[in-house]
Amino acid sequence: MLTAITNVNIYAPEFLDNQSVVVFDQTGIKHVGVDIPDHLDVKLYIDGSGCSLTPGLIDSHVHITMDPDPDPWPKLQESDAMISLRGAKNALQSLRAGFTTLRDMGAKNHVDIALRNAIRQGLVPGPRLLVSGKCLCMTGGHGWMMGREVDSPDEARKGAREQLKATADVIKIMATGGVMTPGVEPGAAQLTYEEMAAAVSEAVKAGKKTATHAQGSTGIRNAVLAGISSVEHGFYLTEEICDLMRQRGTFLVATLAAPHWIIEHGESAGIPAWAVEKARHSSAAHVESFRLAMREGVPIAMGTDAGTPFNAHGKNAFELELMVRYGMSPSDALASATVRAAELLGLADIGRIATGMAADMILVEGDPIEDIRLLQSSIRTVIKNGTIIT
Ligand SMILES: [Zn+2]
């Protein structure tokens, strides 16, 4: 059934001057223009007066099976069945908030893969989900509680092959320590260049993208040289690393919201003191790295790390407010959560409003380029694959 949204400002994600009509159904966007062509038999009209239409938002880094508790680790002891039900709840919250696509960056026992398949089969409602399966980490390294520990290039190769066999969409590789694992340092390198290169080569052969959790400079550089598709977090970037990333088209997914909420709430809210200390210690460098990457022209895709303490599913668009606060233009921020993210994820049919694209769109009251916070507060309608969700 064809639906038309009329009288609307269209951000495709760039502003389409003098165009105000989009016609779509579940097979995709049929027309974008000034009025509705005669041959299109529209059954439902939505008046978009006073609203803006943007592509559905894409968060390139979430942990959909984790609740944003002060200390997420106790719930990791729950059964896989329980964790998958939490994931379904979090997926729906994210979709209702306008996030029609999420990339999950690591879950226990392939619960993420089951959730992705359940959404695809229509068993539970949720966004398009790309999932990594178990992250590859060194023994005792960051993420080991839900990861696959590997300690040589051969083991890394096997670990990557296991995730691909389980139908992971992306391979997640831990290049450094991190904030939320006790006893590991964010700045310290973990998996070696050789281990990461082995895992990346398996992903490349399978036509899949790779992502690295990488905070310290040595680990980031190792991962970029190993051919990683995106650097997640990137606390300690350097000009040399940014040069390499720009030349190779390596994305930064900064996840500014993750340390923001840890520092904002602190130990008094129940976040482990060691995590708060690590977040505080790296926070200034993290923001500076984000600004450096912008100046140096590194491609940037929006990602939140939702599921870390107080980093709630459904509040993902707060990351865009932070990106703008730290110097990104609102239109670049919107692009980072739409067309740029689609590019990072390797999805050619989403991230833009244009004829032939999948109909993933959100209708926002007001103009989010005037005030990016409207993407948190004023979403009126979410459309995923031509179906009206809210
Ligand atoms: Zn993460």
- Match 């990104």 to its residue by tokens: 328
Residue 131 β-bridge partners: 104
- Match 């978009």 to its residue by tokens: 48
State whether 31 and 130 are in the same domain. Answer: no
State whether 110 and 31 are in the same domain. Answer: no
172-197: b (≥16 Cβ within 10 Å) or e: bbbbbbbbbbeebbbbebbbbbebbb
**Residue 358 DSSP label:** -
CATH of the domain at 36: 2.30.40.10
State whether 49 and 77 are in the same domain. Answer: no
Tell me the CA–centroid distance for residue 224 and ligand 1, in Å. Answer: 18
Rounded Cα distance between 381 and 320, Å, is 19
pLDDT of residue 187: 87
State whether 180 and 226 are in the same domain. Answer: yes
CATH of the domain at 223: 3.20.20.140
The burial of 265, by beta-carbon neighbours within 10 Å (0-12 exposed, 13-18 middle, 19 or more buried), is given as middle
pLDDT of residue 73: 80
Q: In what order do the strands lie in the sheet with 9-10?
A: 9-10, 51-55, 361-365, 379-384, 387-388
Tell me the CA–centroid distance for residue 328 and ligand 1, in Å. Answer: 22
Looking at 327, 345, 363, which one is the last position of a domain?
345
State whether 185 and 198 are in the same domain. Answer: yes
Torsion sign, CA atoms 144, 146, 151, 157: negative
pLDDT of residue 53: 98
Classify 189 as helix, strand or coil: strand
State whether 372 and 383 are in the same domain. Answer: yes
State whether 38 and 62 are in the same domain. Answer: no
CB 37 within 8 A of CB 378: no
pLDDT of residue 144: 94
State whether 359 and 380 are in the same domain. Answer: yes
Tell me the CA–centroid distance for residue 164 and ligand 1, in Å. Answer: 20
Tell me the CA–centroid distance for residue 176 and ligand 1, in Å. Answer: 12
Q: In sequence order, which ranges of the chain are alpha helices (DSSP H)? A: 80-96, 111-120, 153-165, 193-205, 217-225, 239-248, 257-265, 273-295, 318-325, 330-336, 339-345, 374-377
C-alpha closest to that of 330 among 367, 361, 289, 293: 367
State whether 90 and 229 are in the same domain. Answer: yes
Classify 390 as helix, strand or coil: coil
State whether 37 and 75 are in the same domain. Answer: no
Tell me the CA–centroid distance for residue 303 and ligand 1, in Å. Answer: 9
CB count in 10 Å sphere of residue 239? 10
The pTM of the full predicted model, rounded to 2 decimals, is 0.98
CB 337 within 8 A of CB 320: yes
- Structural domain tally of the chain? 2
pLDDT of residue 180: 85
CB 365 within 8 A of CB 38: no
Amino acid at 320: L
Tell me the CA–centroid distance for residue 307 and ligand 1, in Å. Answer: 8
Instruction: Give 10-residue mean pLDDT values along the chain (390 residues).
Output: 98 97 98 97 98 98 97 90 97 98 96 98 98 98 95 98 98 94 88 98 98 96 98 97 98 98 97 94 96 98 98 98 98 98 98 98 98 98 96
Tell me the CA–centroid distance for residue 62 and ligand 1, in Å. Answer: 6
Rounded Cα distance between 270 and 292, Å, is 33
State whether 374 and 301 are in the same domain. Answer: no
Tell me the CA–centroid distance for residue 135 and ligand 1, in Å. Answer: 10
Can you give the residue range of the structural domain that contains 377? 2-55+351-388
State whether 162 and 191 are in the same domain. Answer: yes
